[in-house]
């Protein structure tokens, strides 16, 4: 063997050892997720109930208090049903207990998604989200029927994975996805998906399936879900292939969403001018209501008795459709400079001294849990 061949062999040997070491390190650090058990879900359910109760106490929201109590009742019922099977992987327990665990886990996932998405939601959107969560928990707690492949919906989200609990009213197109387990079987026809109101009446507009996986159903609602406030239920009926028996219907799965109240935000302002070192009133009033996200509103301010102010100051009060309100300001600037205030609910107020105009602009929806 010549010298070059020997060097090549040593290089190949070092490369092989390096690759082997990397593989061994990878295997040493890799971890396999533990199999899901009833006890694990019970622990998560109890923790979710506690966190939701804390949020209810902080926000003084009775709907959330009731929902947290329902989570506690779900935990009690599941603990009783599992009995001594709580530590066993759910794959090896009976169908009824396994599906009960999956539904409880779905309640945990929806509660956690709510606690994250509801932060900063204003007025009617906050109420709609709380109602949507409460309806979801009630639906999961009351669900019955079990089979080896019972579908369970654990989430409703936008196509870019933002969790949803409510829909804005109207006829604008909606695209969303249902997430869960056993939502379809490739060997059978697509699931049947329908939308009803709380009384079980079919909505005038119905969602259409655009994509299906066992863990995800993507839907489009070309004309929206309508403007009737209240809870909307999305019903999913799947079929599963059984050996020698063909495709058989499975117990129905339900998802709950709330149609929010129409947006209505009122903004009033108070303008002051600084004349000869003294602050004097320079105008006040209420702007036309903001009734849609992305809308603007404005008002002209008549000239005041102060002909040559050195500075202006402006404050604003925002009243939301649910009756809550908050105030911002005053903020003061030179009389030749515009003033801009950030307001709740994604609003911005601006004062232009050159045109003597107050503007209010609404951003897009600031509540990520509402479509």
The string of pLDDT tens digits covering residues 291-343 is 877 889 999 998 877 888 999 999 999 998 777 888 998 999 999 999 999 98
Q: Is the pLDDT of residue 7 over 90?
A: no
Which pLDDT score is estimated for 180?
97
Are 137 and 88 in contact by the 8 Å Cβ rule? The answer is no
Count of other CB atoms within 10 angstroms of residue 71: 25
Average pLDDT, integer, range 211-223 = 95
Please state the length of the chain: 371
Q: Is the pLDDT of residue 31 over 50?
A: yes
48 vs 242: which has the higher pLDDT: 48
Q: Give me the percent of the chain exceeding a pLDDT of 90.
A: 66
Q: Is the pLDDT of residue 30 over 60?
A: no
Q: What confidence category does residue 56 fall into, taking pLDDT thresholds of 50, 70 and 90?
A: very high
Average pLDDT of the residues of the chain:
88
Q: What confidence category does residue 157 fall into, taking pLDDT thresholds of 50, 70 and 90?
A: very high
Q: Which residues of 305-344 are buried (b: 16+ CB within 10 A; e: fewer)?
A: ebeebebbbbbbbbbbbeeeeeebbbbbeeeeeebebebb
Structure token pair of residue 46: 């109890």
Structure token pair of residue 1: 């063997």
Average pLDDT, integer, range 47-57 = 96
Peptide bond into 330 cis (omega under 30): yes
Q: What confidence category does residue 18 fall into, taking pLDDT thresholds of 50, 70 and 90?
A: low
Average pLDDT, integer, range 237-261 = 91
Nearest to 71 by CA among 98, 109, 39, 36: 109
Hey, which residues does 1 pair with through a beta bridge? none
Q: Is the pLDDT of residue 227 over 90?
A: no
Which pLDDT score is estimated for 80?
95
Count of other CB atoms within 10 angstroms of residue 230: 12
Q: Is the pLDDT of residue 3 over 80?
A: no
Which pLDDT score is estimated for 26?
47
Q: Give me the phi and psi of 57, to 5 degrees please.
A: -65, -40
Average pLDDT, integer, range 250-273 = 92
- Please name the residue that has the structure tokens 């209420």: 286
Nearest to 24 by CA among 34, 36, 35, 16: 16
Give residue-wise pLDDT tens across range 158-199: 999 999 999 988 888 999 999 999 999 999 999 999 999 999
């Amino acid at each position: 063997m010549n010298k070059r061949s020997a060097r090549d062999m040593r290089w190949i040997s070092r490369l092989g050892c390096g690759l082997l070491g990397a593989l061994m390190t990878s295997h040493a650090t890799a971890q396999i997720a533990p199999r899901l058990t009833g006890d694990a879900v019970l622990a998560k359910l109890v923790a979710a109930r506690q966190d939701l109760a804390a949020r209810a106490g902080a926000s003084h929201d009775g709907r959330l208090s009731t929902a947290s109590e329902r989570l506690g009742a779900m935990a009690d019922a599941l603990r009783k049903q599992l009995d001594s099977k709580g530590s066993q992987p759910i794959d090896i327990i009976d169908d009824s207990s396994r599906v009960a665990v999956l539904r409880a886990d779905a309640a945990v996932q929806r509660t956690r998604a709510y606690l994250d998405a509801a932060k900063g939601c204003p007025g009617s959107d906050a109420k709609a989200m709380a109602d949507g969560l409460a309806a979801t928990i009630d639906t999961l707690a009351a669900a019955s029927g079990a089979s080896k492949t019972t579908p369970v919906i654990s989430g409703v989200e936008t196509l870019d994975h933002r969790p949803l609990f409510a829909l804005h009213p109207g006829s604008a197109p909606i695209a969303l996805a249902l997430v869960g387990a056993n939502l379809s079987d490739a060997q059978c026809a697509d699931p049947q998906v329908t939308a009803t109101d709380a009384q079980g009446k079919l909505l005038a507009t119905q969602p259409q399936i655009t994509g299906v996986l066992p863990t995800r159903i993507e839907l489009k609602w070309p004309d929206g879900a309508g403007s009737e406030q209240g809870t909307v239920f999305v019903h999913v009926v799947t079929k599963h292939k059984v050996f020698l028996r063909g495709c058989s219907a499975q117990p129905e799965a339900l998802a709950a969403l709330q149609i929010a109240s129409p947006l209505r935000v009122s903004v009033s302002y108070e303008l002051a001018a600084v004349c000869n070192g003294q602050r004097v009133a320079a105008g006040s009033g209420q702007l036309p209501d903001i009734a849609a996200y992305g809308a603007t509103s404005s008002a002209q301010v008549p000239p005041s008795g102060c002909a040559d102010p050195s500075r202006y100051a402006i404050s604003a009060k925002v009243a939301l459709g649910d009756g809550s309100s908050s105030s911002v300001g005053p903020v003061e600037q030179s009389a030749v400079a515009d003033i801009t205030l950030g307001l709740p609910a994604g609003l911005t107020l601006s004062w232009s001294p050159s045109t003597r105009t107050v503007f209010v602009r609404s951003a897009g929806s600031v509540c990520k849990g509402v479509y």
